[in-house]
Structure 1
Amino acid sequence: MPRANVKDKRKQQLMQATLDSIAKRGLTETTITHISKGAGMSRGIINFYFTSKEMMMQETLQWLLEEYEAAWRSALERADDTEQGALNALIDVHFSKKLCYPKRLNVLTAFWGHAAAHAPYREQFDKSDAKLQDALATAWKKASPRGFGAEQFARQVHALIRGMWLSFLLGGKEVTREGLNQEAMEFVNRHLQPVQMVRGEPVAEVKPEQTEVKAPAAAAPKPVAKPMPPVSTPSASKKKAKQRDVLD
Structure 2
Amino acid sequence: MFPWGEATVSLEDIMVFGGFSTLGDCVMSPPFNSLELVEIEEYLENARGELIRSKTNNQSRWLNYFMNSGKDYEHEDFLSLCLSRFVFPCIVGSPIFSIAVNMAGGMRLELSPGVLASVYRDLGSLRKMESYVRCLRVSELVGLDFQEPYQPNRVAMQFGYDQDFPKWIPRSPSSSKLVWYNYNRPIDSDLRLYYPSRLFEPYVTTRYLKWWRNEIDRQMENYLEVPPGFPPNYCWKND
Taking structure 1 as the reference length, what is the TM-score of the superposition? Answer: 0.24
Between Structure 1 and Structure 2, which shows a larger proportion of helix residues? 1
Q: TM-score, normalised by structure 2?
A: 0.24
Structure with higher RCO (Cα < 8 A, 6+ apart): 2
Larger Rg: 1
